[in-house]
């Protein structure tokens, strides 16, 4: 089976490529290396190219016969999407539409899409299920919601089948510490906390301590990247076995507050993390937790790393290695 992975040199995509390689899939990676790195590609063949180039995309899909496409490539920074919305609609929406079109033109009819919990905005009910109202509050979430809709429409008008996976807060790294996050400007709490522990930042900001949560700070559902990859493997097998298209939340179904994350980071790193409490950021929901019963019931997803300390320990080992590399 031959799989095309867009964005396969990035954080999550590189873990997917590693696992596909280990499982014996033939893997081709298409990535412009804007935030990804060739070093992170542990298997397969990397084609350096940009999804905004329809000729390059068509060439890849027409020259080889792919059984499925897994589409990770996107811009991912929520705050940047507010400042530069067109950058997000271009890369996340228009380039995705062009990729879907090229798939259809070349008879590639199975597609897995990286969506996000940001499509829910501030959910009325926690845990949030896939049927909840979609009310994204930033262009990043809106761009992903629109691609989900495009995929639904294309699937209902053709033999195309897709699975959209709505990721919650993805964290952690490869247990053998070969790959992990390399974002040039990280915004994720665990990464920022670990870089503070490494002395690369003065302090960690806690945005808001007056939320209606047990300790006043925001609660998020942190999922280890390898459990997310397992969800992709099950989704891929489902589509390859002629299963129908679906939409799944990917999270553990419970969360941790910012203060709880800080405590575990202190425990794992031994660092006396300097923390600054500051005002809320606009648009941060108090809690974001997945109802993940659908993927568990339908695909038999059984996460193996539902343990914040494990998540933080794997990320810590990776961050130390990344810093040592310089």
- Under the binding rule (CB under 6 A), the answer on residue 29 touching ligand NAD is no
Applying CB under 6 A, among 16, 20, 60, 73 the residue interacting with ligand NAD is 73
- How far apart CA 300 and CA 293 sit, in angstroms, is 10
237 close to 112: Cβ distance less than 8 angstroms: no
- Under the binding rule (CB under 6 A), the answer on residue 52 touching ligand NAD is yes
Using the Cα atoms of residue 138, residue 140, residue 141 and residue 145 in order, give the sign of their dihedral: positive
Applying CB under 6 A, among 1, 33, 122, 150 the residue interacting with ligand NAD is 33
- Name the CA dihedral angle for 92, 95, 96, 100, rounded to a multiple of 10 degrees: 180
- Under the binding rule (CB under 6 A), the answer on residue 9 touching ligand NAD is yes
- How far apart CA 311 and CA 307 sit, in angstroms, is 6
Q: Which of residues 107-126 bind ligand NAD (CB under 6 A)?
A: 114, 116
Q: Which is nearer to ligand NAD, 84 or 277 (CB)?
A: 84
- Under the binding rule (CB under 6 A), the answer on residue 191 touching ligand NAD is no
Q: Is 121 exposed, middle or buried (0-12, 13-18, 19+ CB in 10 A)?
A: buried
Q: How many CB atoms lie within 10 A of CB 58?
A: 16
Q: How far is the CB of 270 from ligand NAD (least distance, A)?
A: 26
- Under the binding rule (CB under 6 A), the answer on residue 318 touching ligand NAD is no
- Under the binding rule (CB under 6 A), the answer on residue 19 touching ligand NAD is no
End-to-end CA distance of the chain: 37
CA-based nearest residue to 8, from 171, 293, 32, 23: 32
Q: How far is the CB of 94 from ligand NAD (least distance, A)?
A: 10
- Under the binding rule (CB under 6 A), the answer on residue 167 touching ligand NAD is yes
Cα of 207 vs its chain's centroid, Å: 22
Query: Which range of residues in 5-13, 78-86, 121-129, 238-246 is near ligand NAD by CB under 6 A?
Result: 5-13
- Under the binding rule (CB under 6 A), the answer on residue 289 touching ligand NAD is no
- Under the binding rule (CB under 6 A), the answer on residue 25 touching ligand NAD is no
- Under the binding rule (CB under 6 A), the answer on residue 230 touching ligand NAD is no
- How far apart CA 172 and CA 222 sit, in angstroms, is 9
Q: Which is nearer to ligand NAD, 91 or 257 (CB)?
A: 91
Query: Which range of residues in 62-70, 71-79, 214-222, 274-282 is near ligand NAD by CB under 6 A?
Result: 71-79
Q: How many CB atoms lie within 10 A of CB 236?
A: 23
- In the annotation, is 167 catalytic? no
Applying CB under 6 A, among 7, 121, 172, 245 the residue interacting with ligand NAD is 7
CA-based nearest residue to 10, from 43, 33, 28, 42: 33
- How far apart CA 287 and CA 52 sit, in angstroms, is 35
Q: Which is nearer to ligand NAD, 54 or 214 (CB)?
A: 54
- DSSP type of residue 89: I
Applying CB under 6 A, among 5, 19, 20, 32 the residue interacting with ligand NAD is 32
Catalytic residue of the set 11, 120, 140, 211: 140
- Residues of this chain that interact with ligand NAD (CB under 6 A) are 7, 9-13, 31-36, 50-52, 72-74, 76, 91, 95, 114, 116, 167, 169-170
């Amino acid at each position: 089976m031959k799989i095309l992975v867009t964005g396969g040199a990035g954080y999550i995509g590189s873990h997917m490529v590693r696992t596909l390689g280990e499982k014996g899939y033939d893997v081709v990676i298409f990535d412009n290396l804007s935030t990804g790195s060739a070093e992170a590609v542990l298997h397969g063949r990397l084609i350096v190219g940009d999804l905004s180039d329809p000729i390059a995309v068509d060439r890849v899909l027409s020259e080889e016969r792919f059984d499925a496409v897994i589409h990770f490539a996107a811009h991912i920074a929520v705050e940047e999407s507010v400042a530069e919305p067109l950058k997000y609609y271009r890369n996340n929406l228009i380039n995705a539409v062009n990729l879907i079109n090229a798939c259809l033109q070349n008879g590639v009819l199975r597609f897995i899409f990286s969506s996000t919990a940001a499509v829910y905005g501030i959910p009325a009910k926690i845990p949030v299920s896939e049927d909840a109202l979609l009310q994204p509050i930033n262009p990043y979430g809106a761009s992903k919601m629109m691609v989900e809709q495009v995929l639904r429409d294309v699937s209902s008008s053709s033999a195309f089948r897709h699975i959209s996976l709505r990721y919650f807060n993805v964290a952690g790294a490869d247990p053998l510490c070969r790959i992990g996050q390399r974002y040039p400007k990280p915004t994720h709490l665990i990464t920022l906390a670990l870089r503070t522990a490494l002395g690369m930042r003065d302090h960690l900001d806690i945005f808001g301590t007056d939320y209606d949560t047990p300790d006043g700070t925001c609660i998020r559902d942190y999922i280890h990247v390898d459990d997310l990859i397992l969800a992709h493997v099950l989704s891929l097998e489902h589509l390859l076995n002629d299963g129908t298209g679906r939409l799944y939340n990917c999270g553990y179904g419970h969360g941790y507050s910012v203060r709880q994350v800080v405590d575990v980071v202190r425990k794992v790193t031994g660092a006396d993390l300097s923390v600054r409490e500051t005002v809320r950021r606009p648009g941060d929901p108090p809690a974001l937790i997945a109802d993940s019963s659908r993927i568990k019931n339908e695909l038999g997803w059984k996460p193996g790393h539902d343990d914040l300390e494990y998540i933080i320990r794997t990320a810590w080992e990776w961050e130390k290695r990344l810093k040592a590399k310089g």
